[in-house]
Amino acid sequence: MVKSKLISIMGAPSSGKSTLASSVHTELKKMGKNSVFIGESASDFISEYGIPNTPIDQLVIFYKQLNKERMYLDSKDFIICDSSGILNYFYFRGLFGNTLSNKDIAIINHMQKEILKTINQWSHIFYCPPINNNNIDDGIRYHNSEEISRLDRCIKSYLEVENIKHEDLSKIELDKRTEYLISKIL
């Protein structure tokens, strides 16, 4: 049985996380490593159903992402994720207003509990800051610069508040990030 290294590259939209994750996976494969790239379930959902705009949509995406991440545990040496279920929490949470019903609170608590139960499975979590803070609408991403900034702040704050071990890539030049990640995960 293989002891998998689960690697998450997370950040707001337009942070380059998908490009970086794909690049890391490609380099690992070139080195002969047993690696798999796990894309965002949100992209699949948007392609099939449109923009997720309800808490239930985000919960569905969360569990799809979680299942994709778990699918290769113990069969691949490296599982490279360009997102993680953690990100769905921020999208999910943003769909609720200031007044929460008991049902809303129960759903939020459930998702938070699932995230924290799986946090120790991650070998490495890398945070990517936004690269391009312009409005994005490419059929998959649909965020304006204000939403990107807000999501970025939420992600960074959450990692710190929950004391989740991660590495901030803000000071690593874009063209050096793949090499840097490879050196950290090998």
Whole-number average pLDDT of the chain: 87
* pTM (two decimals): 0.88
pLDDT of 141 above 60: no
Task: Say which residue, 21 or 98, is predicted with more confidence.
Answer: 21
Task: Say which residue, 35 or 84, is predicted with more confidence.
Answer: 35
Query: What is the spatial distance between Cα 123 and Cα 179, in angstroms, rounded to a whole number?
Result: 17
Q: What is the pLDDT of residues 149-161, one digit of tens each?
A: 888 998 999 899 9
Give yes or no for a contact between 51 and 142, defined as CB atoms under 8 angstroms apart: yes
Q: What is the pLDDT of residues 110-137, one digit of tens each?
A: 888 988 888 888 999 999 999 865 555 5
pLDDT value for 105:
85
pLDDT value for 9:
95
Q: What residues are paired with 164 via a beta bridge?
A: none
Give yes or no for a contact between 18 and 37, defined as CB atoms under 8 angstroms apart: no
pLDDT value for 56:
84
79: number of Cβ within 10 Å:
26
pLDDT value for 132:
63
Q: What is the mean pLDDT of residues 24-33?
A: 97
pLDDT value for 1:
67
Query: What is the spatial distance between Cα 96 and Cα 88, in angstroms, rounded to a whole number?
Result: 13
